[in-house]
């Protein structure tokens, strides 16, 4: 999260003191008078930047509505809670499940994408993706609705059964490839539905 400038920190400290001593936040005019600003626009711009950096909240159209955001709240703003929907075999396909097992909390700053309501996670079972450094017990974070490119790792429903494999095409036809020579390629006999494209692998301490 971006840090505050010296002046922004002074304004935030003043708001905090006023809330503690007077029981409510100062108005824009009171802040301007305290710091010697000639224009309320200057105060508004400082407050806008402080809010943008996550240290302050305000209700529009209300006087004295400024509220300090606590360190815990700022931390939660940086964290995405991604639902974990059961497990997926990185091996031979198995019947799909939709069992929700909770969620995994991930610092957004460590991601190279922005999570959406369609982002979800699955726990890996099996060893067919070891060539991609995906092993049993890992959590794979996927994006539902994303269009896979050849070479992407996907969670897929192939002829009614779910699996985690690399998405490829051959002569214009899609198929799934294991990253372990002990497992065969999978060609759909009837249908291949991409349930999610891999965005991140989370390895938990063992």
Q: CB neighbours of 168 closer than 8 A, spacing ≥ 6?
A: 150, 151, 174, 175, 176, 177
Listed ranges 56-65, 84-93, 131-140; the one with the highest mean pLDDT = 131-140
Catalytic residue among 39, 70, 101, 128: 128
What fold, for 79-202? Umud Fragment, subunit A (2.10.109)
Ranges in the chain annotated CATH 1.10.10.10: 6-76
Backbone angles phi, psi at 110, to 5 degrees: -90, -10
- Mean of pLDDT values over 20-44: 91
Q: Which CATH number fits domain 6-76: 2.40.50.140, 3.30.43.10, 1.10.10.10, 3.30.2420.10?
A: 1.10.10.10
Catalytic residue among 44, 70, 149, 165: 165
> DSSP assignment, residue 137?
T
How many residues in the chain? 206
How does pLDDT run across 45-75, given as a tens digit for each residue?
999 999 888 888 876 655 577 888 776 555 5
Q: Specify the pTM.
A: 0.63
* Catalytic residue status for 165: yes
Give the residue range(s) of CATH 2.10.109.10 domains in the chain. Answer: 79-202
Active site residue 162: no
Taking only the tens place, the pLDDT of each residue in 160-198 is 889 999 999 998 899 999 999 999 999 988 889 999 999
List all residues 6 or more positions away from 196 whose beta carbon is below 8 Å from its beta carbon: 120, 122, 142, 143, 144, 146, 154, 155
């Amino acid at each position: 999260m971006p840090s505050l400038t010296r002046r922004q920190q002074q304004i935030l400290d003043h708001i905090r003191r006023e809330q503690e001593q007077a029981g409510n936040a100062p108005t824009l005019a009171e802040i301007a008078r305290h710091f010697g600003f000639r224009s309320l626009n200057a105060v508004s711009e400082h407050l806008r930047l402080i809010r943008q950096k996550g240290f302050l909240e305000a209700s529009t159209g209300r006087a004295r509505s400024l509220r300090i955001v606590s360190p815990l709240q700022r931390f939660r703003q940086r964290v995405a809670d991604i639902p974990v929907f059961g497990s997926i075999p990185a091996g031979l396909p198995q019947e799909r499940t939709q069992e929700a097992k909770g969620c995994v909390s991930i610092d957004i700053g460590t991601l190279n994408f922005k999570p959406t309501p369609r982002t979800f996670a699955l726990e890996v079972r099996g060893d067919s993706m070891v060539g991609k450094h995906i092993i049993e017990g890992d959590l794979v974070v996927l994006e539902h609705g994303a269009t896979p490119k050849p070479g992407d790792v996907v969670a897929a429903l192939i002829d009614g059964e779910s699996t985690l494999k690399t998405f490829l095409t051959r002569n214009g036809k899609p198929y799934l490839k294991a990253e372990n020579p002990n497992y065969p390629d999978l060609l759909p006999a009837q249908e291949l539905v991409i349930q999610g494209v891999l965005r991140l692998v989370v390895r938990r301490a063992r």
